[in-house]
Structure 1
Amino acid sequence: MKAAKQMEGQQNLKQYAVVTGNYWAFTLTDGALRMLIVLHFYQQGFSALAIASLFLLYELFGVVTNLTGGWLGARIGLNRTMHIGLLLQVVALSLLLVPPEYLTVAWVMLAQALSGIAKDLNKMSAKSALKLLLPAEQQGQLFRWVALLTGSKNALKGVGFFLGGLLLSLAGFQGAVLALAAMLALVWLLSLVLLKRDLGKSSFKPKFRDLFSKSRPINQLSAARLFLFGARDVWFVIALPLYLSTQFGWSHSAVGSFLALWVIGYGAVQAAAPKLLQRGGQVPDGGSALYWAAILTGVPLWISMGMLSAPALDLWILLAGLLVFGVVFAINSALHSYLIVSYARADGVSLDVGFYYMANAMGRLTGTLLSGWIYQTYGLQPCLWAASLMLLLATVLSLGLPRNTGC
């Protein structure tokens, strides 16, 4: 019996490694592609709002994919939804290899729509799989695995930002896209061989009405997640890179490198969150989410007031504020990522996780569009004010979360 459990544990660890490797590879291409599009089309003379519109279908289809992808994963298995996501990203990258004159707004939006579907199928599959690879009583280990997966993913997203800026400088837009597509196609082929076939397939056939969560904690956590990620993207996605480029004359490679380092550090804090938050063997709960959301709420306001009161030091205040925001936001994100996996039911886990990340995608969509519109119309300061307002709403929604990890 003991030998059988050890063998099962080793097999689960191998599957965790495959899931994580897939997620890493996908994230690298996704981060690089985002930076490629922002910098390339800004170079082509697109406005901030026009660049934001390029990501409209990416985020919109992410909302739909998370909702339906959880249902699909429960019916056909998480291995298949992960493979579909990898393949769709290869197709999305290939669509951008057309001659430059065909890279219209509509065509790029189409490619980004496929990329959005691919990204959220991949994320939902990876996060849901972790619930199934550990016994229910090992909540501390689950927190560590979720934090490592999420943190390492975001660190690699930062590497992707750097890679996107570097490849754009060295190989041009099409050369960069071709390299990313070739790398991900190889990962897809390896995953077809290595990933277990029945991972995450539920014992029942969920109906479409099962897409929406009936759990109050999951609904509250999902709503808080929407405002949490909307608050990040309303100033980070479009406004910040364009502000650094236009106000301080930073080059494309400098913007890409800086944002890459920020996201890498953010990911490192996420991965270290269990060491920071687990005290006396106790795993975090809804009270922890409330506490850290409340702290984060004041950070964008502090940045804004500092920049307004000392214009000569605005760059240094912005950079220092970004550092603080990154650390506190990373802890918030790690807490949320663990809580949703913990709250989710084991049978049909992808339904609950998919619903939650649907809210996450809705937050990104809202934040991205507001980032382009507010920055183009009013500037960076109102973007920061909007971020604090969204974080206040996330804090209020966290008031009702359970004070233990069960639900």
Structure 2
Amino acid sequence: MSIEWLSWLRKFLEACDEIGMKVKSYGLVTGAYWSLTLTDGALRMVVLLHFHELGFGPLELSFLFLAYEFMGILTNLFGGIAGSRFGLEQTLKVGLLIQIFALLAISFVDADWGKVLSVIFVMFCQAFSGIAKDLTKMSSKSAVKFVIPQDGSSERQTRLFRWVAVLTGSKNALKGVGFFVGSALLSSSGYRTSLLILASIVAVALVAVLVFLDESIGKSSKPIPRRIWASTYPAVNKLSIARFFLFGSRDIWFVVALPIFLDESLGWSFEGIGAFLAAWVIGYGIIQSGAPSVIRLKDAAGEIRATTLFWSFILMTFTILLALLVAFDIAKSFTVIVGLLFFGVCLL
């Protein structure tokens, strides 16, 4: 009896050690991603507000973020293959290193360069930032499934849904904080110093990962499939296309149009613009983290489809109403501020 008990205790302690190692690894990956998310949001505000202050128009400002988004798409296509082949901890390290390079490089932009050269150089730097952001995002979200036991049960799927929702929600909250941090840094420290401070934050995260993350996460021992452009499941492909347009509808106004509107039409300060965007994104992140409590994950495909269609219809109807009110100049300021708050709720 005592031998059996000792054997059980040994297995239990080994399991605890294994779980502890995985939780530690996931914590490091998540913490590093949070640091990059914070600096990513701050970088967006620093670049947008600084170059708007230099006289760049809306179209020129939108070009600054074009390469960022495009390289993010490419990284999403190939990042999973890189993570499976080399391990998620390697893609995370590379992502952090690239972000440091992007922040340092973009700090060298000078007001005397002229608009064309500035736009081209910033696009080049933002392309690397887009790669860094999606490499670390892929590493962080993929690490969740290596922490949760692989039992194939519906309970595991529910836990996975909740963990990813919390991770994504906290990411949005930190990105919102980054908007405010970037605006505040630009006002208090100036353009170049702000970027150097952001680079140092990512550098600290990179050092922590290099020193403490000593486990290979997500490295596949099986041949990696070459099919990357589409899933073998039609439903996944349809949802991916829908997601592209869904978040595209958000970024069309959120990335450039809204900050410029708050500055030119309402006369808000940098800190005020950053605070509003931060509050919106943080609130959106809180709603997204609580989505599993509102939208119950069911096994029945019909119920999932009905829930998706219901929320999509509400979002579409509200967005059309918001656009009409702005087009006819009906209480434009109130409509934009309050309307976008409801837009975030519907977007969950």
Q: Does 1:83 align with 2:93?
A: yes
* Distance in 1 between residues matched to 2:226 and 2:73, nearest whole Å: 16
Q: Does 1:140 align with 2:150?
A: no
* Distance in 1 between residues matched to 2:228 and 2:264, nearest whole Å: 47
Per-residue CA deviation, residues 185-222 of structure 1 (Å, 9 max, x unaligned), is 01001012233532111122325445542221221111
* Distance in 1 between residues matched to 2:215 and 2:187, nearest whole Å: 41
Q: In structure 2, which of residues 124, 128, 145 is the aligned counterpart of residue 114 of structure 1?
A: 128
Contact preservation (8 Å) 1:93, 1:181: yes
Specify the alignment match of 1:60 in structure 2.
70
Deviates more, 1:159-168 or 1:131-140: 131-140
* Distance in 2 between residues matched to 1:223 and 1:319, nearest whole Å: 28
Specify which structure has the bigger relative contact order, considering alpha-carbon pairs within 8 angstroms and separated by 6 or more residues.
1
Q: In structure 2, which of residues 174, 191, 197 is the aligned counterpart of residue 156 of structure 1?
A: 174
Query: Aligned residues, how many?
Result: 329
Specify the alignment match of 1:123 in structure 2.
137
Secondary structure, aligned partner of 1:248: coil
Q: Does 1:96 align with 2:145?
A: no
Specify the alignment match of 1:174 in structure 2.
192
CA apart distance, 1:280: 9.3
Ranges of 4+ aligned residues in structure 1 off by more than 6 Å: 279-284
Q: In structure 1, which of residues 5, 28, 46 is the aligned counterpart of residue 56 of structure 2?
A: 46
Per-residue CA deviation, residues 270-293 of structure 1 (Å, 9 max, x unaligned), is 112222223899998344333222
TM-score scaled by length of structure 2: 0.88
Q: Structure 1 residues 10, 290: CA separation in 2 closer, same or farther (over 3 Å shift)?
A: farther
Specify the alignment match of 1:320 in structure 2.
338
Specify the alignment match of 1:243 in structure 2.
261
TM-score scaled by length of structure 1: 0.76
* Distance in 1 between residues matched to 2:300 and 2:166, nearest whole Å: 18
Contact preservation (8 Å) 2:42, 2:183: yes
Partner letter of residue 302 of structure 1?
A: L
CA apart distance, 1:251: 2.0
CA apart distance, 1:152: 0.5
Contact preservation (8 Å) 2:77, 2:228: no
Contact preservation (8 Å) 2:109, 2:118: no
Partner letter of residue 317 of structure 2?
A: G
* Distance in 1 between residues matched to 2:299 and 2:79, nearest whole Å: 34
Partner letter of residue 64 of structure 1?
A: L
* Distance in 2 between residues matched to 1:56 and 1:328, nearest whole Å: 26
Structure 2 residue runs of 5 or longer lacking an equivalent are: 1-10
Q: Structure 1 residues 282, 210: CA separation in 2 closer, same or farther (over 3 Å shift)?
A: closer
